[in-house]
Amino acid sequence: MSQFEARDSALPTVPESMSAIVTSIASTEAEQPSSFEWVVSTIASDFVRLTSDQIEDGIQRALGTIGRYCDADHSVLCRFSAEGESAEGTFEWLAPGAESLCALISEHPLKQFSHLGKQLGTHQVLSYRTPTALPQHAKAERELWQSCGLHSGVFLPLVSGDTLVGFLAVTHKRERMDFTGDMLSVLRVTSQIFANAIDRQRAEQAERGEQERLRSVVDSDMIGVFFWDAAGKIVSANRAWLDLLGFSEADVGSARLTLKNTTPAEYHAGDQKYFEQVTENGQAPNREKELLRADGSRVPVVMGGARLSDDGAGVGFVLDFSERKAKERALRQSEERFRTLAQNVPGAVYMCRNDARFTMLYLNRAVEELTGYPPEAFIKNEISFQELYHPEDAGFIREEVNAALANRRPFHLQYRLKRAKDQWRWVEEHGQGVFSEEGQLLYLEGAVFDITDRKVAEEALRAAHHGLEKSVDERTEELRAANELLLSEVGVRRKMEAALHNEKQFLKKTLDQHEADRRLTAYEIHDGLAQYVAGALMHFEAASRDGDEDGSGTDEQFEHGLQLLRRTIDEARRLISGLRPPILDEQGIVAAIEYLINEHTEISGTINLEIVEPFARLSPLLESTLFRIVQEALNNIERHAGPDAKTMISLHKDDGCIHLEIRDWGAGFDNTAVSNKAHGLRGIRERARLMGGNAAIHSKRGVGTLVVVEIPEQEDVALRIPLRGPDAANNTKTG
């Protein structure tokens, strides 16, 4: 856009009086006029032609010209940053064989050298023939220049206005090098040329930055930007403005697109005053209005403007207010609906602050019917709900409201409220806090309803209910007395039925247990006794059939047969003992368990039996069940726990229940991996269940197994078995 094109003619350049300066200096320096004039004119004419982007190249060329003219080893220009506290750029010319000073300058900021800094800061030239000639307080300068081998040098400030923008330095490595008057004059002129060039470059860069920022705003779609000329014609506009009004770029500059044609008629008078104010003051406050789209429809906008020239041309900015206006309309409609609803609700609808008086922001007319005070009295804070609360209710109202707000939940209250003329009314309030998006409480809103009639009805209902309860209690007492006789007869009959039922259940359990034992005995006869007899028969038949003349083979077969018959006898005795060992009938369960411990010789670990206290003989069936459970548990320990597993058997009685625990510290197993068909564990559970008890089995690999059995005690034999000897309560078998 032409409005944002750079205007080089408006920026600062080398002063027009430069030639006069050159001529003046040349007239006073007559020793070498041709050489002096050539250097100055060459540098000046070069910088006059340079653009801001070419200035740095011009500085580099000028440093070479100066260095050769002064027969120097270095010519350096250091440009300071805008704030003047650091080097922004360093330019350097070097004579053949000379080493660069750029790194040295960047590593040592000017503030480290007090003497040089003071000279340059007061816009004075610092010149020296040798470092030793520097004043005593210039120690830092002297040490640095001596370490670099710099002997003679001159430093000139670059000043723009009153601001130090850099310095020019020319140095020699030759001792006692004198800078002639021509040299110093050239350096003074060129330092001013350099300062002006740096100032011009910065000004152009600043304006270019402003132009870029303005162009980014104009080219963005966030805001519409348009330009008008003195006649009010739209001469330029960005895409956002064109899209907002539905025009194309081809329409820009046409007679169709003017300030007046894009504005509805009712806004013309106001626009005329607005643009007059822009022309007079350079700008005007933002104005809300409507613009006409290309299709004739309207769009609400907020517009701002600024003057670009004295002839009335300017720039305008518009922001689409359609969404905001739509929200405002929706809000007004919502408020109207709310007020209509609030005025027709049979209760006091409110909005209030959460302060000590619950200061009202809004109240409908129903509050007057409820309290006797008009809503204006509450809103003007002439009266508050806090003053109308019953003294016994005021405390809990505040506590409940604060608790609800803290937990971001609605509150529901019932309390007494004083109406004008000291009438107390029961009310019910439903309310909640309204919070901002940041979580800040804005206000409370809710409704209060008169429930006095409901409370009176509830009180009458409670009185009627109390009378009914009294009648029911009296009738219940009569029925209780009438039923006592019947209940006593029913109780006797139930006891008899329960005794008969228990007898049947006990008989069934006994028969089931007996049948299970018979099946187990049959399995053991088939797998043990029958196998031994069959084996003996086979050996005797072989001896009868295959015996040789000397009888040696027959004797061997007979010997095998006799061994099997002996095993048969041992197995038969074991089965008889297994069916019901005599010691169980003769001495009871404790002695029978001791017998089992001594029988399990394959378990090499320690087996401890713990009897908490002597107790009476149990029923034969219960003793047999406990015996079988211990027997099965020890068999499992012998098979699976390991030969060195320690075992503890504990038996005691508590509150009519027999407690049996068998624990081993063997290999253990995974409870979840054991099949339900594992006969040993299942047999333990079934025996306990048939006796009305239960068995729990806990095990873990590497830890061991615990079997816990609890069975109700059966009423039967009351023979008390004393403990035999001091060690009977802790029988121990050590493998």
At the fourth CATH level, the homologous superfamily of domain 4-207 is: GAF domain (3.30.450.40)
Q: How far apart are the first and last CA of the chain?
A: 110
Here the tokens at position 623 are: 């003793």
Instruction: Report the pLDDT value the prediction gives residue 211, as an integer from 0 to 100.
Output: 67
Angle subtended at Cα 640 by Cα 635 and Cα 645, rounded to the nearest 5 degrees: 90
- Give the right CATH number for 587-733 from 1.10.260.40, 3.90.950.20, 3.40.50.300, 3.30.565.10: 3.30.565.10
Q: What's the Rg (C-alpha) of the chain?
A: 58
Separation of alpha carbons 338 and 343, rounded Å:
8
- Higher-confidence residue of 284 and 216: namely 284
Which 8-state DSSP code applies to residue 178?
P
The widest CA-to-CA distance across the chain, in whole angstroms, is 165
**pLDDT grade for 178, boundaries at 50, 70 and 90:** confident
Instruction: Report the pLDDT value the prediction gives residue 720, as an integer from 0 to 100.
Output: 37
Instruction: Report the pLDDT value the prediction gives residue 445, as an integer from 0 to 100.
Output: 92
Q: How many other CB atoms sit within 10 Å of the CB of residue 511?
A: 10
For the segment 641-663, what is each residue's pLDDT rounded down to a tens digit? Answer: 877 788 999 998 888 899 999 99
CATH 3.30.450.20 applies to domain 327-450: yes
Burial profile 646-665: b = 16 or more Cβ within 10 angstroms, e = fewer: ebebebebeeeebbbbbbbb
Long-range contact list for 385-393, CB < 8 A, 24+ apart?
A: 385/357, 385/358, 385/417, 386/356, 386/357, 386/358, 387/357, 388/417, 388/418, 388/419, 389/415, 389/416, 389/417, 389/418, 390/415, 390/416, 390/417, 390/418, 390/424, 392/416
- Mean pLDDT over all residues of the chain? 80
- 74, 171 contact by CB (below 8 A): yes
Choose the most confident range, by mean pLDDT, from 136-145, 439-448, 726-735: 439-448
6-10, 273-277, 321-325: segment of lowest average pLDDT: 6-10
Distances (CA, A) of 289 to 264, 271, 417: 9, 9, 51
Instruction: Report the pLDDT value the prediction gives residue 11, as an integer from 0 to 100.
Output: 35
Question: What whole-number percentage of the chain has pLDDT above 90?
Answer: 21
Separation of alpha carbons 247 and 254, rounded Å:
11
- 624, 584 contact by CB (below 8 A): yes
pLDDT at position 730 over 50: no
User: Number of C-alpha atoms within 13 angstroms, CB side, residue 512?
Assistant: 14
Instruction: Report the pLDDT value the prediction gives residue 93, as an integer from 0 to 100.
Output: 93
- 191, 185 contact by CB (below 8 A): no
For the segment 472-527, what is each residue's pLDDT rounded down to a tens digit? Answer: 888 888 888 888 888 888 888 888 887 677 666 656 766 676 677 767 776 667 66
Question: What whole-number percentage of the chain has pLDDT above 70?
Answer: 82
* Average pLDDT for 241-263: 89
* Average pLDDT for 141-150: 82
In the chain, where the domains are located: 4-207, 220-320, 327-450, 587-733
252-261, 448-457, 498-507: segment of lowest average pLDDT: 498-507
Separation of alpha carbons 27 and 195, rounded Å:
24
The 3-state DSSP class for residue 300 equals: strand
Classify domain 220-320 by CATH number.
Answer: 3.30.450.20
pLDDT at position 733 over 60: no
* Average pLDDT for 527-543: 74
| 4-207 and 587-733, same CATH topology | no
In the block, tokens 């000028």 appear at: 62
* Average pLDDT for 4-22: 39
* pTM greater than the 0.75 cutoff: no
For the segment 365-421, what is each residue's pLDDT rounded down to a tens digit? Answer: 888 888 989 999 999 999 999 999 999 999 999 999 999 999 999 999 999 999 877
Instruction: Report the pLDDT value the prediction gives residue 85, as an integer from 0 to 100.
Output: 61
For the segment 431-449, what is each residue's pLDDT rounded down to a tens digit? Answer: 999 999 889 999 999 999 9
- Amino acid in the structure at residue 655: D
Instruction: Report the pLDDT value the prediction gives residue 14, as an integer from 0 to 100.
Output: 38
